[in-house]
Structure 1
């Protein structure tokens, strides 16, 4: 008897011990979760489950940790395990739905949200999530019903004494609608959120609660999104008014959001004011100073950016400091330092993918790398992106006979002044809709009247900014795209990792990046006979489709008045010039320009760039030119102006000087359009041959040099005959308009033929 009793006691003791250990491991998982150690949390939850495989909260924790680690398929299996064991687990169904939505499985997401609603019909979160996914499925009537249900449930909770849920629910719904590009509906719902917050504030004040500081910040969060919606709708005065009201906020994250949104809409001075206020309110916050430093750098105010960055580092560790210094080095014309820093960062474990693109971009500006070295670097940087890519033969498409080609375009840059917008708007206008069904997957964050114009010209406009690569890939495949065209390359808001995994049977790159991307599974790059001449195939990881004329067609839809080049123009001191951003003003470029100024007495050099609103940049480049023997009395620095004013300023320039090795693109074509010929040099790759392409297409090959010595010689020669120069300037626009390279209809037909050849 005693022996049996001892066994029972020992068994109970063992059970209690195992249970205690299970709870200990579970609590350790929660602690790791709170510290954002997702891998550690996963290990602890799995240790708890080894002791009790049906432990509900550990099953949920494991699934959540896998989601955070980006292990989506194991996470789906983990949710399935949880829900088999606990079929009424509300959070499990809700978060499984979120995961399905992230994976682009919208129908499965909707099914999971329905199960969550069945499990807890009193909760508002599942109907709200359902409303979001139903909008994505274009079931707007059902989505509206789900939203109303969420609002009703939130109101019931509110009546029972819980926080400001109706305002929160309508705010979140407004954000979802913004994601989907339904800006009018978003504005309507966000106004409901504002009214709800105002009503709650008034009630609390009547009850004697001083809740205005809290409400002001809650309202500001809503106002930021409402301002975004109104600006997208073209209701600019109302949008600016709402943003002004949002500036009353005092919370650091809210002010940071407001500044970011202001900057996206080109309100950079207002954005800086908001962030300076944030630094004043939070003088000990390293993050507040970091945000200010970043925006100063983006606004080309480098000296102050570096100073504020140092202040941020003095307050706390700044993991991104090296990246910011690389960016600043590049923006100050030191491409090789930028490239060195970016490559170091890109080589670090778990480095963000954009650092490889920053390295690639920096290499284009380098005076030290050969064309083949640049091409080899691109291949090296992006080869890993192609691992696990989809096979081209796995795509199922209907035969092309008897139907239109489905052309998908991925771009973030349809907004005012961006080169992609300037060149592509006329192409969109002229594209033959009887031959092409066009889908534009918009990945940008800046909206203005040009964005709305592009929307009008596109048959299918898809808001893709918030879609991850998996979601966007599924959408592109569901649309049945035959040819997917990238317009970004390695520039901002690019999706190179998407293309590397192959999301369409044929993929091509054009316009946004001046050369080969080096990205696996990018099938084609569009060039011409000059930027990508026969024999240059080794410089491109893609096949080359060559357009006749010139690769980019400049056919502006805005009427920029042509300067009146009177006889007095030939009598003024000859003015060379460049309106290129300062990263292109490399040591080699400045050295060539100094030689030209020395060889052409009494000539001047006009330099205009966003950086030259900053006294530090003017001083830096002035010192560099002085060291090359240039009298600064002969140099004029100008800061940024609006596009119309900038175009008019070309009248002050006689001859444009193309930078090397990164030629002017948009700026050179703008100069030519305004009567300013360009001295250029034919380099060895796409980026260094753009000027040669433009001047050759214009029938002016004598303006193209073969080397540095020839570049100086051409500039001096063209400056000597002022009468001939004046005659050329007077007729330059008409000359261009008569040539194929400036005929956007012919250019668009050539692009269409190239597209048809790619998919045939």
Structure 2
């Protein structure tokens, strides 16, 4: 704390001297109005009192009136006040007025009259503000030569080193300041801030907390504590720090943004969206906040609003991340058809992925099995890999040598894969895309199959590098890749009719039945009787992820519930863990006239218990335009029919592909109107409970003999396509 002292150290007497002392006491106690009154009263009695003029000038500077401070200290100089002190205060006031040359001259005059660490520090601060860091550092050194224990000099020297990016030196200076003055709040804060910038957050947090104990009203400091806690993944504590910062200053856009990122990190999408909206209220054109709000809204199913925000972000800031996000989410947009999907993904591939070199790896002379490489980040997700493991297990090893390139270790694969002694497993989790491409090339893979698609976005550049002569996409794509690096996509006629091939940059090859044929090789609950047998009313359900439950889906489901007033709906997914997300979704239904008592929201559980949720569901409702894939296969395996309709794109036809191949085509409507009327008819028909009971009793037996579970047949079909691809490659010039 700064204490004002009697400029001349003169003895306090009576009368005017009493007024001066009273002013000093009030000044040092922070009672500035009383101090001003005392000084002015003294000047009324003695207009040229040098001490009163000087101290009133200092008070004017301290109170934010720099012009008045200059005028008073100039008067004080003419009547014999302490010249060094007057020049120092005048320099500070002139600096505040932006008159930096005059301020510098005043500080130099003060130093010329009397060497004082505070005068050197003030001149150093002026130079530091001007970016004259070498001169500033020298001036702080001059102050320390006069007083090596001066905490303020160490602190300001730290600021200069921090401004020059010399963070380790800055940290040392701040530590020296704190060693000499343990309650120097700004030095404590500076040390914590520098350690955070150095990513030494474990060290930073205690210093920031000590600083806040002294500076509890510093909103920026609460923000910086939040950032350090955030980096340490102490998210609840980080959120609390951000909230404290925002309570002190609701206009801190960066804190709203950081709070949104913290909420998003724990899938609190509704809370994250609110925070990013608040950031944009303060800074409407902040591209990063637009993008992140888009991401939060996408995860809440608001895909078209998300796309609009991402397009704005791409136009107003660095376009790479928004362009990539658009490519990922565009398949779920109600307003974006096949052409828009192709354009978005082609733009991403053209601008943000390596240009493919089709001649990088030439086809090798072949006298043995075709080397097929499967790339996946999800081999450990047995429920997700149902359409894949059956085919891989049944490959004819006389014709095909199988290589698995996995982002999870082989020990994590607990179900599905039946390891063959001739197979080769490659753990690429720690490899960059370029290193993984080099491994694939060195392995001599002839045909490389992407099992990720856009669901594991970070691996797409691997395929752009074309580490094999033939690149194929199939399972998990639901649209064109937009990448010229891909040669083929494998689908079926239901998913991609011939007239839509113009919306694909790949050559389309098809299998009979469904390209998503599957088998279940992991523990699942037994099929239960339909709950409507006991309840007498129909319960609809959907276990799809929240991002697929868009406004049009909510509107259609609400129509069903309104027209079937005794029915109910169960929704279950991981996002429903959050009360905020549940409230958001319930509000969407409220807007459609459906209260929360009709829509039961369930959070996540382990997979076996997750599947047992189907015991409480009579009929599953599909999402659109992004249908269920895994969700649809799991529902029918648990005996629950899925009401779906054939949409306008691949993503909107995956359920139709599965259901028709499962001999459940009766549940595939022509369009959304028939989809709604089919569900309503089932809910209102007295025959439905018996029909569903019969269906459930026979469902698994029916599926097992249907094309959708004829994995041997699909394997043979895919193998024929692989050989066809190789023949076409051999005949390519």
Please say if 1:731 is aligned against 2:695. Answer: no
- Answer whether contact 2:472 2:490 (CA < 8 A) is retained: yes
Q: How does 1:185-264 map to 2 (within 5 A)?
A: 259=233
Which runs of 5 or more structure 1 residues have no equivalent in the other structure?
A: 1-30, 32-212, 222-250, 260-270
Find 1:615's aligned residue among 572, 579, 582: 579
- Is the Cα–Cα contact under 8 Å of residues 679 and 711 in structure 1 kept in the other structure? yes
- Picking from 347, 360, 368, the partner of 2:335 is 368
Rate the CA distance shift 1:567–1:668 in 2: closer, same or farther, 3 A.
closer
Any idea what the Cα deviations from partners look like across 1:702-737, whole Å, max 9, x if unmatched? 211112211112222333231222211221121111
Question: How far 1:587 sits from its partner (Å)?
Answer: 1.6
What whole-Å deviation, never above 9, does each CA across 1:58-102 have from its counterpart, x for those lacking one? xxxxxxxxxxxxxxxxxxxxxxxxxxxxxxxxxxxxxxxxxxxxx
Q: 2:659 aligns with which of 684, 692, 695?
A: 695
Give 1:521's aligned residue.
485
- Confirm whether residue 412 of structure 1 aligns to residue 380 of structure 2: no
| Structure 1 residue 744 corresponds to structure 2 residue 708 | no
Which of 507, 527, 546 is matched with 1:563 structurally? 527
CA contact (8 A) 2:354 2:461 kept: no
Q: Is the 8 A contact 1:718 1:725 kept in 2?
A: no
User: Given the superposition, is the C-alpha separation of residues 424 and 346 from structure 1 closer, same or farther in structure 2, using an over 3 Å criterion?
Assistant: farther
Over 3 Å counting, the alpha-carbon distance change for 1:742 and 1:724 in structure 2 is: same
Pair 300,359 (structure 1): closer, same or farther in 2 beyond 3 Å: same
> Is contact 1:613–1:639 with CA below 8 Å preserved after alignment?
yes
Structure 2: runs of 5+ lacking an equivalent: 1-130, 132-194, 204-224, 728-733
User: Are the structure 2 counterparts of residues 273 and 555 from structure 1 closer, same or farther at C-alpha, using a change threshold of 3 Å?
Assistant: farther
Deviates more, 1:338-347 or 1:505-514: 338-347
Report the Cα distance in structure 2 between the residues aligned to 1:219 and 1:332, rounded to whole angstroms. Answer: 32
User: What is the CA-CA distance between 1:256 and the residue it aligns to?
Assistant: 6.3
Task: Give the conservation status (yes or no) of the 8 Å contact 1:662–1:687.
Answer: yes
Say if 1:654 and 1:676, in contact at 8 Å, map to a contact too: yes
Q: 1:255 to 1:745 in 2, by over 3 A?
A: farther
Quote how far apart the aligned CAs of 1:385 are: 5.3
Counterpart CA distance in 1 for 2:228 and 2:413 is 28
Q: Counterpart in 1 of 2:365? A: 399
Q: 1:384 to 1:673 in 2, by over 3 A?
A: same
CA distance in 2, matches of 1:358, 1:746: 37
In 2, distance between residues paired with 1:388 and 1:307?
39
Cα pair distance change 1:411/1:288, threshold 3 Å: farther
Write the distance in 2 (CA, Å) between the matches of 1:474 and 1:290: 39
Q: 1:537 to 1:307 in 2, by over 3 A?
A: closer
The whole-number CA distance in structure 1 between the counterparts of 2:720 and 2:259 is 48
Q: Return the alpha-carbon distance in structure 2 between the equivalents of residues 439 and 523 of structure 1.
A: 19
Mapped contact 2:299–2:547 kept (Cα < 8 A): yes
What is the deviation of 1:253? 9.8
Which residue does 1:47 correspond to in 2? Answer: none
Q: Paired residue for 2:308, among 316, 336, 340?
A: 340
Report the counterpart of residue 431 of structure 1 in structure 2: 395
Partner SS for 1:544: strand
The 1:630/1:417 distance shift into structure 2, 3 A limit, reads farther
CA displacement at 1:464 relative to structure 2? 2.9
Instruction: Give the match for residue 708 of structure 1.
Output: 672
Aligned residues: 503
Alpha-carbon offset, residue 609 of structure 1:
1.8
Q: Secondary structure at the match of 2:570?
A: strand
CA distance in 2, matches of 1:573, 1:417: 34
Cα distance in structure 1, aligned partners of 2:227 and 2:559: 51
User: 2: CA distance between counterparts of 1:584 and 1:293?
Assistant: 22
Residues 510/296 of structure 1: CA separation in 2 closer, same or farther (3 Å cut): farther
Q: Which residue of 1 aligns with 2:638?
A: 674
Q: Deviations over 1:231-277 (max 9, x none)?
A: xxxxxxxxxxxxxxxxxxxx999976774xxxxxxxxxxx7568669
Which residue, out of 413, 436, 443, partners 1:450? 413
SS in structure 1 opposite 2:499? Answer: coil
Establish whether residue 460 from structure 1 lines up as the match of residue 428 from structure 2.
no
Match of 1:509 in 2: 473
Q: Structure 1 residues 220, 460: CA separation in 2 closer, same or farther (over 3 Å shift)?
A: farther
CA distance in 1, matches of 2:255, 2:709: 48
Within a 5 Å distance, the mapping from 1:345-364 to structure 2 comes to 345-347=313-315, 351-352=319-320, 355-364=322-331
1:598 Cα offset (Å): 2.0
* Deviation, structure 1 residue 561: 2.4
Match for residue 434 of structure 2 among 470, 474, 478? 470
Does the aligned pair in 1 maintain the 2:494–2:657 contact within 8 Å?
yes
- CA–CA distance in structure 1, aligned partners of residues 473 and 641 of structure 2: 29
Shift of 1:577: 1.1
Measured at CA, do residues 453 and 690 of structure 1 come closer, stay the same or move farther in structure 2, by a change above 3 Å?
closer
The aligned residue for residue 294 of structure 2 is 326
* 1:475 to partner: Cα distance: 2.4
Shift of 1:319: 7.2
Answer yes or no: is the 8 Å Cα contact 1:665–1:690 preserved in 2: yes
Which residue in the other structure is 2:263 paired with?
296
Q: Residue 286 of structure 1 contacts residue 313 of structure 1 at CA under 8 Å; is this kept in 2?
A: yes
The question of whether the paired residues in 1 share the 8 Å contact of 2:527 and 2:696 is answered with no
Q: Displacement of 1:633 after TM fit? A: 2.1
SS in 2 for 1:502: coil
Relative distance call for 1:299 and 1:673 in structure 2 (3 A) is farther
Name 2:344's counterpart in structure 1.
377
Q: What is the match of residue 531 of structure 1?
A: 495
Alpha-carbon offset, residue 740 of structure 1: 2.1
CA–CA distance in structure 1, aligned partners of residues 637 and 597 of structure 2: 29
Deviations 1:368-403 (A, max 9, x none): 1233332333334323457743134x5333333x31
SS in 1 for 2:458: coil
1:594 shift after superposition: 1.4
Q: Secondary structure at the match of 1:525?
A: strand
State the partner residue of 1:640: 604
The Cα shift of 1:462 comes to: 2.9
Task: Using structure 1 for the length normalisation, give the TM-score.
Answer: 0.59
Q: Distance in 1 between matches of 2:411 and 2:291?
A: 30
- Tell me the CA shift for residue 439 of structure 1: 2.6
Aligned CA-pair RMSD: 3.9
Corresponding residue SS for 1:693: helix
Tell me how far 1:428 sits from its aligned partner: 3.2
- Per the alignment, residue 114 of structure 1 pairs with none
SS class of match (1:495)? helix
| CA distance, structure 2, for counterparts of residue 281 and residue 455 of structure 1 | 54
C-alpha deviations, 1:486-522, integer Å up to 9, x for none? 1222223433233234332110112232221111121
Higher mean C-alpha deviation, range 644-653 or range 714-723: 714-723
How far apart, in 2, do the equivalents of 1:463 and 1:338 lie?
35
- Contact conserved, 2:559 with 2:676, CA < 8 A, in 1? yes
How far apart in 2 are the matches of 1:626 and 1:282? 34
Select which of 467, 488, 492 maps to 2:456. Answer: 492
Asked if structure 1 preserves the Cα contact closer than 8 Å seen for 2:416 and 2:522, the reply is no
Distance in 1, Cα, partners of 2:383 & 2:287 = 30
2:652 and 2:622 mapped to 1: Cα distance?
Answer: 10
Cα deviation 1:534-558 (Å, max 9, x = unaligned): 3221122211121222111231221
- 460-469 vs 666-675, greater mean Cα deviation: 460-469
In 1, distance between residues paired with 2:699 and 2:402?
A: 35
Aligned to 1:72: none
Match of 1:305 in 2: 272
The residue that corresponds to 2:44 in the other structure is: none
Q: For the structure 1 residues 347 and 308, does the alpha-carbon distance in structure 2 shift closer, same or farther, using more than 3 Å as the test? A: closer
- Contact 1:515–1:525 (8 Å) recurs in 2: no
Structure 1 Cα separation of the partners of residues 274 and 597 of structure 2: 29
Deviation, 1:649, is 0.8
Deviates more, 1:383-392 or 1:473-482: 383-392
Shift, 1:350, TM fit: 5.2
Any conservation in 2 of the 1:336–1:362 contact (CA below 8 Å)? no
Q: Structure 2 CA distance, aligned partners of 1:356 and 1:581?
A: 23
Provide, for residues 215-243 of structure 1, a one-character-per-residue CA deviation record: whole Å limited to 9, x for no partner.
xx99999xxxxxxxxxxxxxxxxxxxxxx
Q: What does the per-residue CA deviation read over 1:664-723, in whole Å, with 9 as the maximum and x for residues that have no partner?
A: 111111110001101111012110011111111111222111122111122223332312
